[in-house]
Amino acid sequence: MVGGGVSGPWIVALGDPAADDVGLVGGKGAGLHRLVALGTRVPAGFVVTTAAFAAAVAAPEEIEAPLRALPADAPVAAVEEAAAQARAALTDAVRSAAARGDVPVLDAVRAAYRELGGRAVAGAGPGGQTGAGSGAAGGGTGVGATGHPGVAVRSSAAAEDAADASYAGEHDSYLDVVGPDAVADAVVACWASLYTARAVAYRRGRPAGPMAVVVQRMVAARAAGVFMTLNPANGDRATFVCEAVWGLGEPLVSGTVTPDRFAVNKISGEVVRREIAHKPTRLGSAGTEPVPDAEQDLPCLTDDELAELLRIGRAVETAAGAPQDGEFAVDDDGVHLLQARPETVWSQRPRTVARGRTALEAVLATLTGGDRDAD
Amino acid sequence: MPTDRFPSPFDIATPEGAEGWESMYDWYHLFGPERRELDEQRFWFADRLHHPDVLHPYDEIQCECWWQALGAFNTRIFAMPPAYGVDQRILNGRLYVTPVPAPPGDVAARAEEFGKRAGHYYERWDAIYAEWKEKVLARLAELRALRFDPLPDLEPESTVYEHVGTSAGFRMIRDFNHLVTSMYETYQWHFELLNIGYAAYLTFFGMCKSAFPDITDQTISRMVGGLDVELYRPDDELKRLAKEAQRLGVDLGEDTPAAELFALLTKTDNGAEWVADWERTADPWFVVNTDPGHPGGYHVHPTWAEAPDVPLAAVREYVRRLDEGDAIDRPTDEVLRERDRIAGEYRELMAEADRPVFDETLELARKVFVYIEEHVLYIEHWMWAAFWAKSKELSRALAAMGELDEPEDMFFLRRYEVAEAIYDCVVGWSVGSRPRGADYWRPIVETRRRIYDALKAWEPEPALGPPPAEVNEPFTVMLWGITTSTVGEWLKADDEGGKVLRGTGGAPGVVEGPVRVVTHVGELGSVEPGDVLVCPATSPSWAPVFSRIAATVSDVGGIMSHTAIVCREYGMPAVVGTGNAVSTLRTGQRVRVDGGAGTVTLLDEV
């Protein structure tokens, strides 16, 4: 269901205790709140809540009408067409409401964005209220020529990043958005991405939304990447793996470049595998740019950064009680955690190797090859 | 050129000058036409772990002891489910072995028996092991009490007045039999606990591997490793003597031979105190065999006690390090803390349902591991050292009696022939007549000495016969370090140019350094700090060298080999079980040793 029935503040800072409510801030927002609460370094930001979405998107039935009219076996082109109509309807409805001034959600977004200017890192600890305007100078990191910070605007649907479905990449994200109006537009575009053909297909008939949107300061990333607190190749939970590239992490996430790959033993901290890729380009705030020759074949993470990332990853995993995957970026301050969520593949599998056996039964299983039968 | 199989044992030529070598070994130990069909289908590998060198005829007993005992305990006593014994053949003086699998159809029934039988031992392990030590030590004392003297012209009066009732000649016959059967019996005891111990260890190993596919063998060993075991005691005693020398202000000199030095030292009070300490320590802690391969495998290698220059060099090295302010003690507490931390953290990462069995198997593995490490001291060092010492005493007696030209000749006779020689000698002595004696043995021994030298020049094939599709017999992999990929490497060895040697990663780390090939403990003096030690295998008598070298590469051994255990303890890389490092690498070449990947890369251009 879209819209209606969600109440609460429109804007919640990531460090705000209210950001613990998945229904209000979506999966990604709540995940980031937990990271902030753990004391990890997370870029400062706020959530445009599902309450804001409900207020701004007044008549969801009308918006969804073209999609509901589709037969179950509608051809792809027809789904694309209906989805485009729904997106246009949503955008129009929000804009006209904003123009009338009776629902000032987008004004609230612009105001929160302006306040964000002063902070680079989300308030550590649950006590931080708004996270915005709290004084600590951001040192200009990610701040555009206008004095406005560049931010990432990402959708945070309530169902996203749950342990059973990642919704990875199904909704839109906008990077390095600068200026209050651009941020407001990006928020609307995120809402509209509920109705991309791929999101509709991914939901397979489940109702959409409501959707929260996370607005976070960009990290001027020297390197960025993804990590997993287990080995995705074999499920080994003592192995921490990470992939990283120079610059922003988006080309890695979208799979358009070959990253450096590292595997670290969680217990010894030893880097047990290190595959350094040739990295001729990187994504910077101005777009794709060449990497200086001397750095193209260098590892983009130092051992210290890997160690810090491992420490962060393990802390998040321990707090969540389950293996995690996540995204990170590295700048001069160190490692920033951009998101973390439960790992969804190996965590679903039974992983006991010898449940309920005595030592002697285990010996017999070893000697007879009975291990292969262990459930 | 790549081939898919190793040569048939029946196609291996006799080295020139070694014609007739078969007469040196027992007929049942040879490839023979009667079982050719069976033997040609089997995959044999050279057992360079236990027997890296040509066997003297007398020393064949070493092989026989474990051939029979390992087999009986696996096959007949504990019903080890997947594995019968390990079969042996001697070819051109080298030992080849092949593990015999149990029939797959019998594995389930054997498992049921094994559960009852081995289970009985596991439940009572510590008590059984305590009894085990007692019986081995009692037998050791008994062996050492045997006397093999030249037979007297006239029996001592005591033979009469104490109603001994037997002659010295008879006692020589009897005591030789006792010597041999004692060694056989000790080997029964050796395998009474060993393979069921390995089975328990492998279980923990396998559990870790299936829960944590990335876990390294070394990490698993570190979780189990008992550090407070007697196997480390000889080296600890060297360190203690070094500290004592420092405390007493005793100057051990640079390279004065031990005998000379000790004589010199006894002239001062402190020196005499130190020498007395050395002598007290030497028995039993320096009764340590110096074989390059498995300790006690050959009669030719002295113990530390017999060749005190070896341990003395080590003590000097420790003194030098103490003088430089180094800590020479093993960081036992630290290693133990680390062991428990690692085990605790892996446990936490296990599925909760598996934690109890993880705890139980780890506890069992730690318990059996003490035996796995310590039995080497009791059997391989103490018992074999006593056996060889008594054998040499007998050989001197026989030579003195004219049965042999010289003592060493005895080792060119098979043990059955030695029994014959004793009888010949005894009966001649008893009757007051003339044995056939040395005149009979002389041509035999001469021929065999010549054959022995010819066999030594032969470089044995690493393996014979068709390789298995997969080497997965757990004991082969763990003990000999032979895996599917090792066998593949052996097959490829001819066409690769030898740039990279592969073995098993025994201890992690990567270093580069100059090769120092050492095939015998007597050559350890040539090792320079920072060298990469390349050797057939190591034993505790090699301990002194580990503080000087940068890495170790061995021809034989798996992750539980002495080399791997010690290198892990010293925190230096080791690649074990390379098969042919000693014959491939030359002293002075630069190599990179990767103890994680198990590779040795030649850096110099060949």
Count the Cβ atoms, other than its own, within 10 Å of residue B577: 31
Residue with the bigger pLDDT between A162 and A298: it is A298
Is pLDDT above 70 for B281? yes
Mean pLDDT of chain A: 82
Whether B564 has a pLDDT exceeding 70, the answer reads yes
The mean per-residue pLDDT over the stretch A230-257 comes to 89
What does pLDDT average to over chain B? 90
* Highest mean pLDDT, choosing among B249-253, B438-442, B514-518, B541-545: B438-442
pLDDT at A139 over 80: no
pLDDT at B151: 97
A147, A191: one domain: yes
Q: Are residues A188 and A336 in the same domain?
A: no
**Structural domains in chain A (count):** 2
Taking the C-alpha atoms of residue A307 and residue A303, their distance in angstroms, rounded to an integer, is: 6
pLDDT digits (tens, 9 = 90+) for B298-327: 999 899 999 998 889 889 988 988 998 888
Q: Is the pLDDT confidence value at A12 over 60?
A: yes
Kind and range of the H or E run holding A285: none
Of A263, A267, A363, nearest to B346 by CB-CB distance is A267
Q: Are B37 and B64 contained in the same domain?
A: yes
- Taking 70 as the threshold, does the pLDDT of residue B3 lie above it? no
Q: How far is A349 from chain B (nearest CA, A)?
A: 11
A134 pLDDT band (50/70/90 cuts)? very low
Q: Would you call B202 and A366 a contact, using CB atoms and an 8 Å cutoff?
A: yes
Task: Indicate if B280 and B262 belong to the same structural domain.
Answer: yes
Same domain? B391 vs B463? no
Q: Does A374 touch chain B (CB under 8 A)?
A: yes
B548 inside domain:
yes
A267, A351, A357 member nearest B351 (Cβ): A351
Query: A residues 196-235 near B, CB within 8 Å?
Result: 231, 234-235
Q: Is A258 within the bounds of a domain? A: yes
Shared domain for A211 and A230, answered yes or no, is: no
B591 and B519 in a common domain: yes
pLDDT over 60 at A163, yes or no? no
In this predicted structure, the answer to whether residue A287 has a pLDDT above a threshold of 80 is yes
Average pLDDT over residues A150-179: 70
- Cβ within 8 Å, pair A354-B111: no
- What's the CA gap between A192 and A91, in Å, rounded? 7
- Residue A370 counted as domain residue: no
| Domain end residue (candidates: A163, A191, A217) | A217
Q: Say if residue B95 is in the same domain as residue B2.
A: yes
User: Per the domain annotation, does B346 fall within a domain?
Assistant: no
**Same domain (yes/no): B117, B131:** no
Query: A319 to chain B, minimum CA–CA distance in Å?
Result: 14
Residues 6+ apart with CB under 8 A from B94: B46, B51, B54, B55, B455, B458, B460
Q: Do B354 and A352 touch (CB under 8 A)?
A: yes
Q: Is residue A132 one of the residues assigned to a domain?
A: yes
Q: pLDDT tier at B392 (50, 70, 90 boundaries)?
A: very high
What are the residues whose beta carbons fall under 8 Å from the beta carbon of A241, sequence distance 6 or more?
A227, A228, A230, A231, A232, A261, A262, A263, A264
* Whether residue A2 has pLDDT greater than 60: no
The distance of A301 to chain B (nearest Cα, Å) reads: 21
**Closest chain A residue by Cα to residue B218:** A268
CATH code, A52: 3.30.1490.20
Residues A227 and A176 in one domain: no
| Most confidently predicted of A90-99, B104-113, B289-298 | B104-113
The pLDDT of residue A205: 63
A28 lies in the same domain as A54: yes
Residue B328's Cβ-side half-sphere holds a number of Cα atoms within 13 Å equal to: 27
Task: Output the pLDDT for position B5.
Answer: 87
Residue A164 pLDDT grade (very low, low, confident, very high; cuts 50, 70, 90):
very low
Domain membership of residue B348 (yes or no) is no
Q: Quick check: A366 and B206 CB within 8 A?
A: yes
pLDDT of residue A89: 86
Nearest alpha carbon to residue A182 among A92, A94, A106, A286: A106
Instruction: Determine, yes or no, domain membership for A374.
Output: no
Residue A375 lies in a domain: no
pLDDT value at residue B331 = 78
Q: Quick one: B220 and B247 in the same domain? A: no
- Average pLDDT, integer, range B255-278: 95
DSSP symbols for A210-276: -EEEEEEEPP--SEEEEEESS-TTT--TTEEEEEEEEB-SHHHHTT-SPPEEEEEETTT--EEEEEP
pLDDT on residue A120: 59
Q: pTM here?
A: 0.79
B345 inside domain: no
Q: Is the pLDDT of residue A128 over 80?
A: no
Answer yes or no: is A209 within a domain.
yes
Please indicate whether residue B248 or residue A4 has the higher confidence score (pLDDT).
B248
Do residues B600 and B580 lie in contact, with contact meaning Cβ atoms separated by under 8 Å? no
> B305 and B240, same structural domain?
yes
Structure tokens at A244: 């990283």
Is pLDDT larger for residue B34 or for residue A355?
B34
The values of phi and psi at residue B437, to 5°, are: 55, -145
- B chain contacts of residue A240, beta-carbon cutoff 8 Å: none
Q: Which pLDDT band, with edges at 50, 70 and 90, does A224 fall under?
A: very high
**Domain range holding B37?**
1-123+436-480
A94 three-state secondary structure: helix
In tens, the pLDDT along B40-63 reads: 999 999 988 788 889 999 999 999
A163 plus A297 within the same structural domain:
no
Partner-chain contact A359 B122, CB within 8 Å: yes
Domain containing B578 — which CATH number?
A: 3.50.30.10
Residue B298 lies in a domain: yes
Give the pLDDT confidence score for residue A171 in this predicted structure. 67
The verdict on a CB contact (< 8 Å) between B212 and A238 is yes
Q: Which residue has the higher pLDDT, B432 or A65?
A: B432
**Phi, psi (rounded to 5 degrees) for B602:** -80, 120
Task: Work out the average pLDDT over B469-488.
Answer: 76
Contact criterion met (CB < 8 Å) for A353 and B107? no
Residues of chain A with pLDDT > 90, as a percent, come to 40
Query: What are the tokens at B391?
Result: 């054998």
User: B532 is written with which tokens?
Assistant: 């990469």
Q: Which residue has the higher pLDDT, B17 or B4?
A: B17
Q: Work out the average pLDDT over B367-385.
A: 93
Residue B527: per-residue pLDDT: 87
What integer pLDDT is reported at residue A99 of this predicted model?
A: 83
Reduced to 3 states (helix: H, G, I; strand: E, B; else coil), residue A158 is coil
Alpha-carbon gap, residue A332 to A339, rounded angstroms: 19
Residue B455 Cα distances to B8, B464, B586, angstroms: 19, 17, 22
Arithmetic mean of pLDDT, B210-234: 85
The SS3 assignment for B555 reads coil
Of A320, A273, A237, A307, the closest CA to residue B346 belongs to A237
Q: Are residues A243 and A193 in the same domain?
A: no
Q: Which of A16-30, A294-308, A341-355 is least confident?
A: A341-355
Residue at B56 is within a domain? yes
Residue A359 sits at the chain B interface (C-beta within 8 Å): yes
Question: Chain A: residue nearest B109 by CA?
Answer: A368
Q: What is the mean pLDDT of residues A361-368?
A: 88
The reply to whether A213 and A248 lie within a common domain is no
Q: Which residue in the set B199, B345, B353 is minimally distant from A367, CB to CB?
A: B199
Domain count, chain B: 4
Residues of A in contact with B508 (CB under 8 A): 270
- Identify the band that residue A345 occupies on the pLDDT scale cut at 50, 70 and 90: confident
Flag the least confident range among A42-56, A93-107, A201-215, B164-178: A201-215
Q: What pLDDT is recorded for position B590?
A: 92
User: What does the pLDDT read at residue A6?
Assistant: 67
Task: State the Cα angle at B18 between B15 and B23, rounded to 5°.
Answer: 130
The per-residue pLDDT for B556 is 77
Partner-chain residue, chosen from A236, A263, A352, that has the shortest CB–CB distance to B353: A352
Between the CA of residue A239 and those of A242, B221, B472, what are the distances in Å?
10, 18, 25
- For an interface test with B, which of A240, A265, A267 has the most B Cβ atoms less than 10 Å from its Cβ? A267
Q: Is the pLDDT of residue B141 over 90?
A: yes
Both tokens of B426, joined, read 């005894």
3-state secondary structure A41-63: CCECEEEECHHHHHHHCCCHHHH
Query: If pLDDT is split at 50, 70 and 90, which confidence band does A132 have?
Result: very low
Banded model confidence at residue A159, pLDDT cuts 50, 70, 90: low
Nearest by Cα to A17 from A158, A123, A126, A156: A126
Q: Which residue of B lies nearest to A272 if distances are taken between CA atoms? A: B596
| Residues of chain B with C-beta less than 8 angstroms from the C-beta of A351 | 211, 351
| Co-location of B256 and B304 in the same domain | yes
Q: Flag whether pLDDT at B602 surpasses 50.
A: yes
Domain membership flag for residue A212: yes
Indicate whether A157 and A282 sit together in one domain.
Answer: no
- Interatomic CA distance for residues B482 and B487, integer angstroms: 7
Determine the residue among A273, A363, A364 to mutate to test chain B binding: the one whose Cβ has the most chain B Cβ atoms within 10 Å.
A363
Q: Which residue of A has its CA nearest to B198?
A: A363
Residue A22 in this model has a pLDDT that exceeds 50: yes
Residue B576 lies in a domain: yes
Mark whether A232 and A207 lie in a shared domain. Answer: no
Residue B557 is which amino acid?
G
**Among B582, B578, B574, CA closest to B217:** B574
Average the pLDDT over A160-164 and give the result: 47
Residues B362, B223, single domain; the answer is yes
In a domain, B94, yes or no: yes
Mean pLDDT of A54-73: 78
Q: Note the pLDDT of residue A131.
A: 34
Q: Are residues A126 and A207 in the same domain?
A: yes
- The proportion of chain B whose per-residue pLDDT surpasses 70, expressed as a percent, equals 97
- B558's enclosing H/E stretch is none
How many C-beta neighbours within 10 Å does residue B473 have? 19
Residues B458 and B518 in one domain: no
pLDDT for B546 equals 82
Smallest CA–CA separation between A259 and chain B, in Å? 21
Where is pLDDT greater, at A270 or B420?
Answer: B420
Domain that holds residue A276: 223-344
Please indicate, yes or no, if residue A357 is contained in any of the structural domains: no
Q: What proportion of chain B, given as a percentage, has pLDDT over 90? A: 66
Residue B386 has pLDDT above 90, yes or no: yes
Domain boundary among B428, B447, B467: B428
Answer with the one of B402, B428, B454 that is the final residue of a domain: B428
pLDDT at B334: 84
B467 with B535, same domain: the answer is no
Same domain? For A160 and A233 the reply is: no
By CA distance, what is B120's nearest residue in A?
A360
**Is B345 within 8 Å of A266 when comparing Cβ atoms?**
yes
- What mean pLDDT is predicted for residues A97-112? 87
Q: Which of A318, A367, A368 to mutate to test the interface with B (most CBs of B within 10 A)?
A: A367
Q: Which residue of A has its CA nearest to B347?
A: A238
pLDDT of residue B426: 98
